Amino acid sequence: AQSVTQPDIHITVSEGASLELRCNYSYGATPYLFWYVQSPGQGLQLLLKYFSGDTLVQGIKGFEAEFKRSQSSFNLRKPSVHWSDAAEYFCAVVPLMNYGGATNKLIFGTGTLLAVQP
């Protein structure tokens, strides 16, 4: 079945430590890929996106993500986490249709809640 999976529901890291949040998708064709962050009481903010080309994409707030076609993954990374990074992170896709077109909707994973220890 088509899906977006974020296997880690909750992750705790120490401030200054590195971070990797996992995302796997299951679609016939590589979809467009996104990472969003949601802070309490806030809407979703786009961190970065991948459409095609260079498989390592840079985003805002020092985040990057790497697309790996062989693993159907789009993992989010940050070399040094700050306390302000504590939030919920969502991986999302826009599926491409078999005929080469695209849908208009974002399909989200269930999210990973990041806690940062001082």
Span from 14-22, 53-61, 73-81, 86-94 in contact with other proteins (CB under 8 A): 86-94
Per rule CB under 8 A, is residue 36 in the interface with other proteins? Answer: yes
Q: CB-wise, 15 or 113, nearer to other proteins?
A: 113
The tokens describing 8, both together, are: 């880690």
Among 17, 29, 60, 102, interactor with other proteins by CB under 8 A:
102
Q: CB-wise, 86 or 107, nearer to other proteins?
A: 107
**Total residues at the site for other proteins (CB under 8 A)?**
25
Q: How far is the CB of 72 from other proteins (least distance, A)?
A: 18
